[in-house]
Structure 1
Amino acid sequence: MDINSQNPNYVGFLWNIAESLRGTYKAEDYGKVMLPLIVLRRFDCLLDEYDREIIKKIYKETDYVSGLERDIMVIAELEEVHKMKNISFFNISDYDFKSLLDDSENIAENLKNYINGFSENVKNIMKNFKFSSQIDHLNKKNKLYSIIQKFAEVDFHIDKIPNERMGQIYEELIRRFYENTDAGEHYTPREVVELCMEMLFYTKEEFIKENGKYIDIADFCAGTGGMLSEARRYIESKNKNAEIQLYGQELMDESFAICQADMIMKGENPENIRLGNTLSEDRFKGEKFRFLISNPPYGVTWKDEEHIIKMESELGFDGRFGAGTPRTTDGSLLFLQNMISKMKDDNDGSRIAIILNGSPLFTGDAGSGESNIRKWIIESDLLEGIIALPTDMFYNTGISTYIWVLTNKKISKRKGKIQLIDATKFYDPMKKSLGSKRKELSTSHIKDIKDIYSKFEESDVSKIFDNKDFGFVKVTIERPLRLKFQITDEVIENIKKAPFYKKLNKDQQEQLNSVVNLFDKIKVYMSRNEFLEDLNSKIKLKNINFIKTSQIKNLISIIGVQDNEAEICRDSKGNIEADSSLRDYEFIPLKENIKEYFKREVCSHIEDAWIDEGTLDKVGYEIPFTKYFYKHEELRSFTDIISEIEELEKIITSEIYNIFN
């Protein structure tokens, strides 16, 4: 195949190289070799633009400094004095991919020397790929020379492959390498990203079209940079002259290396992509961004980072987690709070599109960390809308997922409102599954969802709510304690089995038995006070001194049985005592008057109930998405089911008869 023909199939060519690794590597490990080599060959081709001899001369003249500082000085000198433009990296070695082939015996050592000849930014990328160990492995298996030879055949120069096309090739190969593994950590399906872009830039079309507009976009779970690249493509399709800056943070070394390399290949500033744990390491402290996108890992634990995160939470809104922290088994709402803390608070504001699973919608009771975070987000009027996606959309999970859309500058008709869209039926089945991914959004589906969102109207798949519709007060409902008492043989046995009884000495046990035996086993007491009076009189009659208040309480708890016909129990001050076994809770919508709701919904059924006044401030928020779009389906009649079964029996009987006759 002529890779440099009019319509070269770069992906196919590179995939054939990957297939040549079969036997040396498992298919899921092809990326460990291919991705760093694609990056390296791209850099190799771009080096043709640079005068190596001038670079070497300047590098030698700056030997009084080292590392990144030296690189900065070399690049500045090249750009200003020697008129070499747009330099973001360089190489001072005597090698390139073609000259490496001249010495097959030493190709491993020479390749390492070539990589070490790059500027610090490229060396760091290759270090994060951990490519040195792959060089040794390929060389040991006698594969290194042939792989370098094949890569030397393809021209990745920018004149042949523009940055946008190079990014598409790279992303397609990433998808192929990881689609049968844990791909969700590496790749968000393109059509889902496209829908995110429509939500991210909704109402900002004119903003991004302004001539020479500066636009910054951040993804703090950047992965390999696919969402950032798509954001750039979207903006450039609307405004070729926009000044776009991409920013990202990534935890995994290899994904970080891919993302940073992608930025360099596309002419971005690689320093804008930073390595570190987003939750515990704020690599963009104090910085704000116009647009923020993310697909954070679902249900990720933050137990190991708990101390650091809790300390930052205690800073309130001077830190990133001022609204509180969720349970340590799911950091989704921490990722979201981090994004909110990075929003610009100016006339244009910021917008967020983040993909989450169902847990952040409803997990956590009133007063919990999750509920408090939702409360703050909704009461701050930040949540604009949520879109429910079809299941089976991602490569490594089939669970329900949602796009949350947030902004701190809602347009007037959306202020105080939240739109929910049920897009779970908007999909085409895939002809061939890719891991867990069995469904995909078409271009028309994306357009339809965007139109529904933009129209902001009620329909079967679109619901519009006031912010307060998601809030409730969780009140405790108490009922009076009513106990009846009767000394039966069973009760006597229960007393003897009780821990307090077993702690008494033998003499005390006999004395207590004598008191209990004084009771008439037929008599039923419907009043606790009456029973206590009788009990105390019998204790006094027997002249027993060891039975104190604690023993009396133990006896009451064993003998007393809840009975709605019994007299209400009161404490020493005459206050009605609550029966904990009858305690219940009501979730009263914030829009409701609590007293009126209680009278209508509770007292109409239970006349003696009351609200624990101490729970009136226990406000919670949840978004029961499925509840709002639930459609009741009438059950089929018994007659229809029986009729269908009889028809099936006839068919089966007929088929069996035909088989044997």
Structure 2
Amino acid sequence: MDQPQLSWITNFIWGIADDVLRDLYVRGKYRDVILPMTVLRRLDAVLEPTKQDVRDMKANLDANEITNQDAVLRQEAGQAFYNTSPFTLRDLRNRSNQQQLRADFEAYLDGFSPNVQEILDNFEFRNQIPRLSKADALGTLIEKFLDPQINLGPAPIMSGDTVKVAGLDNHAMGTVFEELVRRFNEENNEEAGEHWTPRDAVRLMARLIFDPIADDIQSGTYLLYDGACGTGGMLTVAEETLRDLAAAHHKQVSTHLYGQEINAETYAIAKADMLLKGEGEAADNIVGGPEYSTLANDAFPSREFDFMLSNPPYGKSWKGDLERMGGKDGIRDPRFIIQHAGESEYSLLTRSSDGQMLFMANLLSKMKHGTPLGSRIATVHNGSSLFTGDAGQGESNIRRWIIENDWLEAIVALPLNMFYNTGIATYVWVLTNRKPEHRRGKVQLIDATTWFRPLRKNLGKKNCELAPEDTDRILHAFQTMEESEQSKVFPNEAFGYWKVTVERPLRLKVDLGEERLRHFRQACVGAGDAALAKLADFAAERLGAGPHLNYNDFSAKLKLLSEQTDVKLTAKRLKLIKDELAERDENADPVVKKIHKPGKVEENTLHGLYGTSQGIIEFEPDSELRDTEQVPLLEVGGIEAFIQWEVLPHAQDAWIDPDSIKTGYEISFTRHFYKPQPLRTLAEITADIRALEAETDGLLAEIVGAG
């Protein structure tokens, strides 16, 4: 059946909504009725030839008290589904009594196989029946779907030996259903983006994973997976792309689709679409509903897939999933707690406010490692996946894990306003565990933000699309890896850095003048320690008012004085002295934290260890002067050279804390593709000033003249 005929059928079904539902539902709710009714009519027509055989088999199984009937009834129906009720939709069309029609229609629905029941339950279609029946619209709705002008069955409608209305094969029926889904999603564009990725973006993603290996595809079976499959559009487009590619290379391929979706309605659409296409097994491999969160309840924990595509939710909290998985301290899911970089419990757990990168980790956990092609992945994210998360945090750890395993081929920046309900920047990540030789150790960034064509009419916030030539342009840049203003190639290490804590010594002086002592006495009163205040007064008499610029020397003398007055210098009292009596002074000597014996530790000024005649001195760091530096992994000479050139010239007493060093990764498109606006010339600025002066002079003359 050609495209104009399919469009005519789609338009006819679309028109049923306006004819029957206009006064019953707002337009955004038409799909709650039309989509499940389209599914029911197709299934009904497919099952008509074997209807009686199924009923007879059902009676026989019941008579023999056989309870496990599903497989036998599927076989009798010759389909992956069946209906054991005494009715077809044609049987219900002439019911004049609405109560009887409702009862019989509900019995008809109850007769479907469990897989169809699951679709109806997730559509919540039974909830619509009371409203339709009360408005006397149920019979009209059934009548419209049985209109002789359209045929949703696979067999043609004949008039003698002439085909009156052609039948719809599974592919054509799937096309009609997908077109209805697309229209309803675009009608409801504010929410469509949550479950519906624009087809232009999906086609690009499919080609990014298939085109590079077109010559390597062999005849055989391939598994495709989407962990946030929505209505299943990514899977079906990917399947069509792979089959077309294989056919062009004279290969025979078989595909199996797997998906998981938490939203009940979109899950029902995806599963129904598979059934309508005659892919019963594929329908069973679409798992979902509110209890099937991909993060907390992985439906395919032991499966590995050849090709994976996904558009996970952006900025969506996964706190509920985290709690179900045992919390951050209790989670042991091997998808998210892994071994990497010498860590046996390397955490990929991101902030609970946004779980999109965990969907990427889920895909990566399902890669095939024992096949020539391995796995190829395309997943679309917003910009936060490129840079959020500090070194050692989940988001950065995921990027590090990906890049250090050399799985990231490229990231493509898409045009703004590509999606229905958001105008934010979006990016397609292309990953594989079988990089070709010329890509190994490298990552390509492609700026495709200007490669698009505008839509004639906005669809929500979507105001542009990728034309075929735009997709080809992106694919050309990707496959050639040629450097240009829109395509740049970097070594993996270019995105990594060391985060280092830079310390400076605490420098304290002690002033035993009357004003400082008064402040200290008040602090001691607050702490209930009058004895310590007296010790300070005694120290002022013996040691003088100050300032005492060597805190360690002062502490040693104070200890001797405390022994004379029987005031023990406990840790609590020493802290009070340091906090309330001493004060920071950049001219004071550094406070010594510890003196190490020579031999046990070596002098290392970069790490804050200084050799003296007393031993190796370690100074106490000043938390107020503490800072961090990001040192690029590609820094010549590493951390030490960076500190020597970038830190010590400004702070000669600085050192780094070796235990603080963490490795992080971030990707900045702005840094690599930013094009600064050229500065205006002096002549242009002068001309503007003179124009403003002339304008104000004229205005002043006009005001004076008017006066």
Tell whether the structures are fold-level matches, with TM greater than 0.5: yes
Q: Counterpart in 2 of 1:414?
A: 439
Distance 1:568 1:75, change over 3 A: closer
Task: Please state how far the C-alpha of 1:227 moved relative to its aligned partner.
Answer: 0.7
Distance 1:508 1:459, change over 3 A: same
Q: Does 1:198 align with 2:242?
A: no
Distance 1:590 1:101, change over 3 A: same
1:438-449 superposed matches below 5 A:
438-449=463-474
Task: Please state how far the C-alpha of 1:518 moved relative to its aligned partner.
Answer: 4.7
Distance 2:256 2:501 in 1: 52
2:423 to 379, 395, 398: 398
Q: Does 1:370 align with 2:386?
A: no
Q: Does 1:156 align with 2:175?
A: no
Q: Does 1:9 align with 2:33?
A: no
Distance 1:65 1:309, change over 3 A: farther
Q: Does 1:628 align with 2:650?
A: no
Q: Which runs of 5+ in 1 are unaligned?
A: 80-86
Distance 1:321 1:580 in 2: 32
Distance 1:311 1:357, change over 3 A: same
1:267-416 superposed matches below 5 A:
267-268=278-279, 269=281, 270-275=283-288, 276-309=292-325, 319=335, 321-322=337-338, 323-324=346-347, 325-345=349-369, 346-416=371-441
- Higher alpha-carbon deviation: 218-227 or 87-96: 87-96
2:6–2:176 contact (8 Å) kept in structure 1: no
Distance 1:201 1:327 in 2: 33
Distance 2:225 2:484 in 1: 33
Distance 1:257 1:632 in 2: 49
Q: Counterpart in 2 of 1:84?
A: none
- Higher alpha-carbon deviation: 546-555 or 603-612: 546-555
Q: Secondary structure at the match of 2:190?
A: coil
Distance 1:14 1:239 in 2: 34
Distance 1:461 1:8 in 2: 38
Distance 1:510 1:328, change over 3 A: closer
Distance 1:645 1:26, change over 3 A: farther
Q: Secondary structure at the match of 1:191?
A: helix
1:580 to 599, 611, 623: 623
Distance 1:6 1:582 in 2: 74
Task: Please state how far the C-alpha of 1:188 moved relative to its aligned partner.
Answer: 0.4
Q: Secondary structure at the match of 2:189?
A: coil
Q: Counterpart in 2 of 1:18?
A: 17
Task: Please state how far the C-alpha of 1:572 moved relative to its aligned partner.
Answer: 4.8
Task: Please state how far the C-alpha of 1:260 moved relative to its aligned partner.
Answer: 0.7
What amino acid sits opposite 2:89 in the alignment? F
Q: Does 1:145 align with 2:145?
A: no
What amino acid sits opposite 2:308 in the alignment? L
What amino acid sits opposite 2:386 in the alignment? L
Q: Counterpart in 1 of 2:663?
A: 619
Q: Counterpart in 2 of 1:554?
A: 576
What amino acid sits opposite 1:51 in the alignment? T
Distance 1:249 1:546, change over 3 A: same
Distance 2:96 2:368 in 1: 55
Q: Secondary structure at the match of 1:474?
A: strand
Task: Please state how far the C-alpha of 1:552 moved relative to its aligned partner.
Answer: 3.4
2:391–2:663 contact (8 Å) kept in structure 1: yes
Q: Which runs of 5+ in 2 are unaligned?
A: 155-165, 339-345, 596-616
Distance 1:317 1:301, change over 3 A: closer
With the length of structure 2 as denominator, give the TM-score of the two structures: 0.83
Distance 1:447 1:181, change over 3 A: same
2:70–2:113 contact (8 Å) kept in structure 1: yes
Task: Please state how far the C-alpha of 1:493 moved relative to its aligned partner.
Answer: 5.5
Task: Please state how far the C-alpha of 1:450 moved relative to its aligned partner.
Answer: 0.7
Task: Please state how far the C-alpha of 1:369 moved relative to its aligned partner.
Answer: 2.1
- Higher alpha-carbon deviation: 143-152 or 346-355: 143-152
1:186 to 190, 195, 199: 195
- Higher alpha-carbon deviation: 215-224 or 324-333: 324-333
Distance 1:519 1:98, change over 3 A: farther
Task: Show CA shifts across 1:519-574 (max 9, x none).
Answer: 99974333224544665677678x46266453233222234333332222213524
Task: Please state how far the C-alpha of 1:632 moved relative to its aligned partner.
Answer: 2.5
Task: Please state how far the C-alpha of 1:297 moved relative to its aligned partner.
Answer: 0.9
Task: Show CA shifts across 1:314-362 (max 9, x none).
Answer: 8979556425222222222221121112111122211111111222222
Q: Counterpart in 2 of 1:589?
A: 632
What amino acid sits opposite 2:315 in the alignment? G
Q: Counterpart in 2 of 1:257?
A: 268
Q: Counterpart in 2 of 1:528?
A: 551
Q: Secondary structure at the match of 2:55?
A: helix
Q: Counterpart in 2 of 1:599?
A: 644
Distance 1:170 1:518 in 2: 94
Q: Counterpart in 1 of 2:89?
A: 97
Task: Please state how far the C-alpha of 1:517 moved relative to its aligned partner.
Answer: 6.8
Distance 1:391 1:521 in 2: 71
Distance 2:685 2:569 in 1: 68
Q: Secondary structure at the match of 1:403?
A: strand
With the length of structure 1 as denominator, give the TM-score of the two structures: 0.88
Distance 1:289 1:547, change over 3 A: closer
Q: Secondary structure at the match of 2:320?
A: coil
1:371–1:620 contact (8 Å) kept in structure 2: yes
Q: Counterpart in 1 of 2:72?
A: 73
Task: Show CA shifts across 1:378-407 (max 9, x none).
Answer: 111111111111222111222221111111
Q: Secondary structure at the match of 1:182?
A: helix
Distance 1:12 1:492, change over 3 A: farther
Distance 1:104 1:473, change over 3 A: same
Task: Please state how far the C-alpha of 1:515 moved relative to its aligned partner.
Answer: 4.3
Q: Counterpart in 2 of 1:471?
A: 496
Distance 1:437 1:5 in 2: 26
Q: Does 1:563 align with 2:572?
A: no
Distance 1:184 1:532, change over 3 A: same
Distance 2:224 2:27 in 1: 34
Distance 2:553 2:337 in 1: 57
Q: Secondary structure at the match of 1:394?
A: coil
Distance 2:356 2:7 in 1: 42
Distance 2:304 2:85 in 1: 40
Task: Please state how far the C-alpha of 1:95 moved relative to its aligned partner.
Answer: 2.7
1:485–1:561 contact (8 Å) kept in structure 2: yes
Percent of aligned pairs with the same amino acid? 38
